[in-house]
Amino acid sequence: MMKKIIQQLTSSNCILLASHTNPDGDAIGSLLATGISLEKLGCQVVLYNESPIPAVYRFLPSVERIQKEVKDLLNFDSAVILDCGNMDRVGSIAKQVEATIPVVINIDHHTTNTQFGQYRLVDVDACATSEIVYRLIQAMGIEMDEAIATAIYTGILTDTGSFRFSNTNQAAFAICETMMTMGVNPSMVASHVYGAYSLGRIKLLNLALDSIEISNNGHLSIMTVTREMLAKTDTLAEDADGLINYARRIRDVKVAALIHELENGNGGSGKSRRFHVSLRSDGSVDVSRIAMNFGGGGHAGAAGFSMESSLTKIKQMIYDMSDSFGEQCHLS
Ligand code: 5GP
Ligand code: MN
């Protein structure tokens, strides 16, 4: 498959590269690394992400190349879709991309990947999509530079939770070491990604910590971030990134859920609002299966889904689920 993908990419004049909405470090890192690399080969590339780039990632070289709109999809010979378990994760242009661009290449590491696209580089054992992209760049014989290395390093650093999550593998360390030899400065990257929060973000942390509830059996923790909390602290949805890890760190908790109210709901007025639910597990429960039941997906240890409902109903639904954590959800 790698050979065919390289053939397809090198014979394409114009390539669209896209990653998932509300991008994280891996979605942005893998997008930039692939884009800059293919451009070095002389390909014409357009880098696309539907959502704004979170402030903490705006230090990445060439990040300004990522556009929120693409004009004419007919111009592209190939589309490279990065860090997306399914095509819809790309956002509103997903269907058009599939209908218009002749070849879709799926590069991803989610266990729930639907195997979309004509060509696929899907490796669920990769710590990040950026790891797979690193292998692709090597296989293509493209020369690494500091910009590409910084993008790959950031993707791996953030998707492994700074080498703490269960997806942390040998490749994570090996690639990051190689990225340092290419000029990556870990403390510089960390100072942007983890050390440049607004005061509002810290205040939001306070509200989010205060919202944590625990199920009777102690196996489930629920954290809530509402639009009201964002307004009160003058923060954006991106500022809730990583908060769920606090809910997961509690002793005996097997699954942590973050219920995050989305902007495109009908605010506080109606009963039904739109929420994104992030799930994290301690390794004993496969949360990707839970997320899939609700139309989402992800990894065994980190997954998510979105739904329209009321906060009370979603909480009840998640609490009901926690009764079974000792039984059918267990990983073998
Ligand atoms: P998060 O909770 O940070 O949004 O996502 C955790 C993991 O699950 C990420 O790898 C993310 O890509 C995946 N994920 C989150 N929401 C969805 C969803 O609605 N559909 C799918 N397929 N994956 C999701
Ligand atoms: Mn990823």
SS3 per residue for 175-216: HHHHHHHCCCCHHHHHHHHCCCCCHHHHHHHHHHHHCCEECC
DSSP 39-85: HHTT-EEEEE-SSPPPGGGTTSTTGGGEES--S-GGG-SEEEEES-S
What stretch of H or E contains 311? Answer: helix 311-322
Residues in the chain: 332
What would the pLDDT profile of 170-229 be if each residue is shown by its tens digit? Answer: 999 999 999 999 999 999 999 999 999 999 999 999 999 999 999 999 999 999 999 999
Provide the 10 A C-beta neighbour count for residue 233. Answer: 21
Q: Calculate the dihedral angle through the C-alpha atoms of 115, 293, 240, 89, rounding to the nearest 10 degrees.
A: 30
Structural domains in the chain plus CATH codes: 2-193 (3.90.1640.10), 199-329 (3.10.310.30)
Across the beta sheet with 273-281, the strand order is 213-214, 220-225, 255-261, 273-281, 302-309, 297-298
Phi, psi of 291 (to 5 degrees): -60, -40
Provide the 10 A C-beta neighbour count for residue 179. Answer: 25
Q: Which ligand is nearest to the CA of 277?
A: 1
Angle 68-296-299 (CA atoms, 0-180°, nearest 5)?
Answer: 95
Confidence band of 321 (pLDDT split at 50, 70, 90): confident
Residue 209 to residue 247: CA distance in whole angstroms: 8
User: In testing the pocket of ligand 1, which one of 81, 110, 111, 132 has its CB within 8 Å of the most ligand atoms?
Assistant: 110
Answer yes or no: is the C-beta of 33 below 6 A from any ligand 1 atom.
Answer: no
CA-to-CA dists, residue 158 to 194, 317, 324, angstroms: 10, 30, 31
Q: Is pLDDT of 328 > 50?
A: no
Q: What is the pTM of this model?
A: 0.95
What would the pLDDT profile of 254-263 be if each residue is shown by its tens digit? Answer: 999 999 999 8
- Ligand 2 center to 269 CA (angstroms): 35
Q: Percent of the chain, pLDDT > 90? A: 93
Q: Which ligand is nearest to the CA of 132?
A: 2
Answer yes or no: is the C-beta of 86 below 6 A from any ligand 1 atom.
Answer: yes
Q: Is pLDDT of 270 > 80?
A: no
